[in-house]
Amino acid sequence: MTTNVPPKDAAEWPDKAPSTAMPCTECPLRPLPLFVDHTPEELELVQSLKRRSLRVEAGETLIHEGQTDSPLYTLLQGWAFRYKTLSDGRRQILTFLLAGDFIGVQQKMGDAAAHGVDTLTSASFCVFQRDALWEIHRRSPTMGFNVTWLTAHEESLVDDTLLSVGRRSAEERIASMLILLFKRAAALQEDNGKGGVVWPLTQQHIADALGLSLVHTNKTLRKLEKRGLHEIKDGRLYLRDVKALARLADLYGDGHPPQRPLV
């Protein structure tokens, strides 16, 4: 729900003390196979646009709906999600955000943020100056293309959610979400998900993302688990039969995220 009281910018939150931004050369994400290599000049550009690092606890709002002049962020560690709400508080989760996602571009295209961003877990962010988009495009066409790629990729994730909400059954929706989020999270781990992945989503988050009731979500998850397709235990998700889940979801491709740039 939008608010008439201007929310505080994350840079002004008193309980989130600023710290020196991590050097791009020491970023723990860059060595991962998921991310493409960048030239020293590109790393220097990104480093020059960083303001600081930010640590946010679980369940906090990073960007409010209707907020103006928020910074840009790269999620360094943890989970978050983008969402929109109706006037009565009903919420639609648009996408889940994982490490490496670039946040806030849509807000820069308008006067105010059309969606909010909340954290699912404690999370760390790299915070960029507000004119970073302009500077990236002005000083490096390659990095400008990378930002365009990231926003197009996020749009494709929203498209898949729309397909699920509009055409897939409850079982197909949940099966698709389990595979896609598992693969995205597994790509950030050294074991590639062999020991499961962290799963901070509640059934309410799943329901809000897939347009299901909480009761229907609960029943469907239990049904899929009884069939041996997945298991959620101690805050971790395990896929027990990926092929069967993929067939059920009628999923195009294998769900593996493509190699991607990192800002």
Largest CA distance in the chain: 54
Does the structure show a pLDDT above 50 at 18?
Answer: no
**pLDDT tens-digit series, residues 235-256:** 999 999 999 999 999 887 666 8
CA 118 to mean position of chain CA atoms: 10
Nearest to 237 by CA among 177, 184, 182: 182
- To 5 degrees, how large is the angle CA 157–CA 162–CA 167? 130
> Residue 239, exposed/middle/buried by CB under 10 A (0-12, 13-18, 19+)?
buried
* Superfamily for the 10-142 domain: Jelly Rolls (2.60.120.10)
| The pLDDT of residue 184 | 95
| The pLDDT of residue 164 | 87
**pLDDT tens-digit series, residues 121-151:** 999 999 998 888 889 999 999 999 999 999 9
pTM for the predicted model, two decimal places? 0.87
CA gap 92, 105 in Å, rounded:
19
- Edge to edge, the sheet with strand 123-128 lists 50-56, 123-128, 72-77, 102-103
Q: How confident is the model at residue 10 (pLDDT cuts 50, 70, 90)?
A: very low
| The pLDDT of residue 3 | 38
**pLDDT tens-digit series, residues 43-56:** 999 999 999 999 99
Does the structure show a pLDDT above 50 at 11?
Answer: no
CA gap 113, 180 in Å, rounded:
26
What CATH number was assigned to the domain covering residues 158-249?
1.10.10.10
Domain boundaries, the chain: 10-142, 158-249
